[in-house]
Structure 1
């Protein structure tokens, strides 16, 4: 993972001089959100070291990277140790006492399930960090939340684009508006074991994409010689596609959702929990204006080319409008690079800014409700 820590967690630069993917494109790993958020927080203009003035208190703990370090350890005590040590330390700090941690928040660069192993389960997956009594008072920002949790909020996976200015974003938006899209729909991903509905849905999506070979491009990430790990090849595929299929995989959400939005490719969902019930701060509620939703029942009972039939049936003027709405989402789903030479008065509100505002608003609500402050 070491190379992905370069450039404030953005990873190695990609593209060369004169490339469309220069100079703000990086081979960013999808699990680097903790590092990226921390680096941006260090430069945040509203940061204060005086906790008595703070609306919220950020805890720079890399829960996801610690999880990865102990991923294969059979002894759960080793996996759980750092999280327990953290909350033990936090409870001793004077900042904890005012609200018992309810004004504290932290970021996890992995999905919620990785930190929700039941205390009675001594051989299961992940750690118990989010289930610790103290953790129930914290606010968690994560790339995928538990839909039943009260203190978790999903924020976008990192993409490859980390602009330094609004003008950079505008240039990219102009470019993908004019891109010639020759493929009706695309799926980039790997097969999953058919253990549950997620595996069944993905299998059906791949089958239908293959049966629509003239209109669908399937990029098989199970094949060694594939382009799934090549950011430029992947982006070019999405840029040439009208729709990008986003079935669940190991979990409900995918980083690919945000890569496709970045490419101006309209996402197609098969589960409400893949985006609509996740990223409520970053994507609008009017889901039909920027995406397509195909219920699982309709997918599995509608014939071998049901996806193609549905997508072909969408009028062109509606497709154009949906793509424009997707392109408008880009500023709020990318994590920009801090720019010390930003033009005076320029406001670049990115995924980070939206997330921090959401946290502060939520904590202010808790403070008013539970502590009766004006």
Structure 2
């Protein structure tokens, strides 16, 4: 943690999974995280982190580093000091909603990670119930392979189309199986949802 506290930027490449534990340790220390894959934070922790990831972190596509399109140090040095200061303040402001508060602290004005998660679940259940009453699904043509996209949709959007991060999550497929597997997955997801709704009636 001392190393994070004395650093402005903390590099957070993928580990055994998209997200390293040190990603959160660095933010708790007030260090600006530098991510190389959107799955490390932006698509997983949408309840706890702002959608506008550039306000608290730096994103450098991992392929840019592999292809040597620029050094990490050079890219980070191009960020104006004023912007770095604002980003660091934003990281510090995120700390309460990334940790579990001590119940003895009697927090009344700040929401911790648990409060944020509970409120997000309540909002989702409320939205699902409203959709059921109105006789519609939450999303149109839900595709499981694209599940990471749905949390990134703006209010009112019901279908996930092309996204600039598609190359990070797309898996190579044979020409013969590509379309059919996507279609069957979408069909399976829709049928699963319909069965769940029927069972609840």
Aligned to 1:354: 116
CA distance in 2, matches of 1:348, 1:318: 25
CA distance in 2, matches of 1:320, 1:327: 11
Aligned to 1:267: 33
Q: Kindly provide the CA deviation profile for residues 131-165 of structure 1, in whole angstroms up to 9, marking residues without a partner as x.
A: xxxxxxxxxxxxxxxxxxxxxxxxxxxxxxxxxxx
**CA-CA distance at 1:315 after TM superposition:** 1.6
Q: Kindly provide the CA deviation profile for residues 29-50 of structure 1, in whole angstroms up to 9, marking residues without a partner as x.
A: xxxxxxxxxxxxxxxxxxxxxx
- The TM-score with structure 2 as length reference comes to 0.63
Q: Which has the higher helix share?
A: 2
Aligned to 1:333: 98
Query: 5 Å matches for 1:68-79?
Result: none
Aligned to 1:226: none
Aligned to 1:342: 106
Q: Does 1:317 align with 2:79?
A: no
Aligned to 1:279: 45
Query: 5 Å matches for 1:11-30?
Result: none
Task: Report how many residues are paired.
Answer: 135
**CA-CA distance at 1:347 after TM superposition:** 2.7
Q: Does 1:238 align with 2:4?
A: yes
Aligned to 2:23: 257
**CA-CA distance at 1:337 after TM superposition:** 1.2
Q: Kindly provide the CA deviation profile for residues 77-127 of structure 1, in whole angstroms up to 9, marking residues without a partner as x.
A: xxxxxxxxxxxxxxxxxxxxxxxxxxxxxxxxxxxxxxxxxxxxxxxxxxx
Query: 5 Å matches for 1:97-246?
Result: 235-246=1-12
Aligned to 2:192: none
**CA-CA distance at 1:258 after TM superposition:** 1.1
CA distance in 1, matches of 2:35, 2:65: 11
Q: Please state whether the residue corresponding to 2:76 is helix, strand or coil.
A: helix
CA distance in 1, matches of 2:113, 2:129: 24
Q: Which has the larger radius of gyration?
A: 1
**CA-CA distance at 1:372 after TM superposition:** 5.1
1:292 to 58, 63, 75: 58
CA distance in 2, matches of 1:348, 1:292: 26
CA distance in 2, matches of 1:342, 1:292: 34
Aligned to 1:367: 129
Once the two structures are overlaid, the 10-residue window that deviates more, 305-314 or 261-270, is: 305-314
Q: Please state whether the residue corresponding to 1:241 is helix, strand or coil.
A: coil
RMSD over aligned Cα atoms: 1.9
CA distance in 2, matches of 1:366, 1:317: 42
Q: Please state whether the residue corresponding to 1:267 is helix, strand or coil.
A: strand
Q: Does 1:302 align with 2:68?
A: yes
